[in-house]
Amino acid sequence: MPTLSPIAERAEALTAFFRDLHAHPELGFQETRTAARVAEALRAAGVDEIHEGIGGTGIVAVIRGKGQGNRRIGLRADMDALPIHEASGVDYASQNPGTMHACGHDGHTTMLLGAAEYLAATREFDGTAVLIFQPAEEGLGGARRMIDEGLFERFPVDEAYGLHNTPDGQVNRVGLTKGAAMAGAAFFDIAITGRGSHAAQPQHARDALVIAATLVGQLQTIVARNVPPLDTCVLSVTQSHAGTAYNVVPETATLAGTIRYFRPEVLELAESRMRTLCEGLALAYGVTIEVDIRNAFDVLMNDPDLSDAYLDAARDVVGADLVHDGDPPMTGSEDFADMLQVVPGAYLRLGHAGTVPLHNPGFVLDPGCLPVGASILARIVERRLPLREAA
């Protein structure tokens, strides 16, 4: 098995921990049981410090190596689940109806715990490992809250690393994109207020639903006709709500969705066009349209030099043939990007068996990737904080 031996020997225990987290998923900022289980496991592992309640339910653990160096490496994993009803069929499926670990955060947390156990037992590094168990990655701003509450002032690090599972059927394949690796994202809400009426007399209405439908189509023209073709932008309307009865033309309607981008100028263009279209439709139909657009994720930027170091650590674990440094950027978003705005670092993707996509009710994370991810996280600490030989 391509893992560090002490971690490989813990594979069964790591799988049991992962299954427990998977069976008891919790949404962002509600990860109280998850955080308690993590803290309990960290205490058992013998880490030097455990700090709870950072960013609501976040945890930071500190492990000091054998050397006396003052460099510090951060490792981060996310803990929250999604509001999805599980349909995976596994015997450890979610016991919380409507909530599911459909993105693998239970696996990420387990990998970081595995790295913590190894690093606390061996301490074959010169400096300090700072392990960050983050809440609320799924669009709720968990990283920003931890940062705002003084994460890197209290626990300064020189560089930081994270990873994400990839259900692509390519077992143990490691991929990384240098530079802009994952898209930034803005969330938007649009509220249309028109005039309601009896459905049999629509001439008395200013139909908010019809206007919303028109706006959905108009918003798609931003990417098709305003964003330069060589730039990347994804504008998706993901929610539409209107109406309460069969015989009532609705007075109000709401739309919501996301904008994905890699350059701030593209976001500014999309936002400007959205507001202009809404102003135009409001004037044309004689209604009120309110627009709220807010940044949710920064663009995730992988430091080129630290990316190389991370890939070298991965090669130590899975071998050179499975490590790739030329993966294309992803239009998905990840709030580890916010941490990389404060400290340099890198983020990689780890392939595993199974091809049901993330955020799908049938998604299953292959537990075989747990010791592999844990080994990569542990190895980057050992590589970046090498012990000096005694003179």
Q: Let me know whether 164 and 308 are in one domain.
A: yes
Nearest to 96 by CA among 35, 25, 29: 25
Tell me whether residue 103 is annotated as binding: yes
Average pLDDT over residues 16-36: 98
248 lies in a domain?
yes
User: Mean pLDDT across the chain, nearest whole number?
Assistant: 97
- Collapse the DSSP code of 350 into the 3-class scheme (helix H, G, I; strand E, B; otherwise coil) and give the result: strand
Q: List alpha helices for the chain, DSSP H.
A: 5-8, 11-23, 32-45, 105-122, 142-148, 151-154, 208-225, 264-285, 304-318, 336-340, 370-384
Q: In whole angstroms, what is the distance from residue 165 CA to residue 284 CA? A: 48
pLDDT of residue 389: 66
Q: Is 282's pLDDT higher than 70?
A: yes
- CATH number reported for the structural domain that contains residue 360 in this entry: 3.40.630.10
62 lies in a domain?
yes
pLDDT of residue 2: 63
Q: Let me know whether 278 and 312 are in one domain.
A: no
pLDDT of residue 68: 86
- Collapse the DSSP code of 347 into the 3-class scheme (helix H, G, I; strand E, B; otherwise coil) and give the result: strand
Q: Are 255 and 240 in contact, with CB atoms under 8 Å apart? A: yes
Tell me whether residue 352 is annotated as binding: no
Q: In whole angstroms, what is the distance from residue 78 CA to residue 58 CA? A: 9
Q: What are phi and psi of 141, to 5 degrees?
A: 80, 35
Q: Which of 246, 274, 297 is the last residue of a domain?
A: 297
Q: Is 339's pLDDT higher than 80?
A: yes
54 lies in a domain?
yes
Percent of the chain exceeding pLDDT 90 equals: 97
- CATH number reported for the structural domain that contains residue 277 in this entry: 3.30.70.360
List the domain range (segments joined by +) for residue 281: 184-297
Residue pLDDT, tens place only, 118-161 = 999 999 999 999 999 999 999 999 999 999 999 999 999 999 99
Q: Let me know whether 175 and 86 are in one domain.
A: yes
Q: Let me know whether 171 and 194 are in one domain.
A: no
226 lies in a domain?
yes
Q: Is 390's pLDDT higher than 60?
A: no
Q: List alpha helices for 155-303, DSSP H.
A: 208-225, 264-285
Relative to beta strand 288-297, strand 323-324 is unpaired
238 lies in a domain?
yes
Sequence-separated (6 or more) residues with CB below 8 Å from residue 16? none
Q: Let me know whether 224 and 370 are in one domain.
A: no
Average pLDDT over residues 245-260: 98
Residue 166 CA from chain centroid, whole number? 12
pLDDT of residue 4: 85
Residue pLDDT, tens place only, 200-216 = 999 999 999 999 999 99
Cβ count within 10 A of residue 289: 24
Q: Which of 262, 297, 332 is the last residue of a domain?
A: 297
- Collapse the DSSP code of 27 into the 3-class scheme (helix H, G, I; strand E, B; otherwise coil) and give the result: coil
Query: What are the structure tokens assigned to 134, written together?
Result: 């983050």
Sequence-separated (6 or more) residues with CB below 8 Å from residue 180? 262, 299, 300, 301, 329
Tell me whether residue 86 is annotated as binding: no
390 lies in a domain?
no
Q: Let me know whether 103 and 213 are in one domain.
A: no
Query: What are the structure tokens assigned to 203, written together?
Result: 């001439």
Average pLDDT over residues 110-114: 98
Alpha-carbon torsion, ordered 311, 312, 314, 317, to 10 deg: 170
Q: Which of 238, 272, 297 is the last residue of a domain?
A: 297
Q: Let me know whether 243 and 325 are in one domain.
A: no
Tell me whether residue 138 is annotated as binding: yes
Tell me whether residue 164 is annotated as binding: yes
361 lies in a domain?
yes
Q: Let me know whether 57 and 147 are in one domain.
A: yes
Q: Let me know whether 261 and 190 are in one domain.
A: yes
The packing angle between helices 105-122 and 11-23, to 10°, is: 140
Q: Let me know whether 338 and 244 are in one domain.
A: no
Average pLDDT over residues 70-92: 98
Q: Let me know whether 121 and 39 are in one domain.
A: yes
Q: Is 391's pLDDT higher than 50?
A: no
- Structural domains of the chain, count: 2
Q: Is 1's pLDDT higher than 50?
A: no
Q: Let me know whether 113 and 133 are in one domain.
A: yes
Nearest to 369 by CA among 391, 349, 344: 349
391 lies in a domain?
no
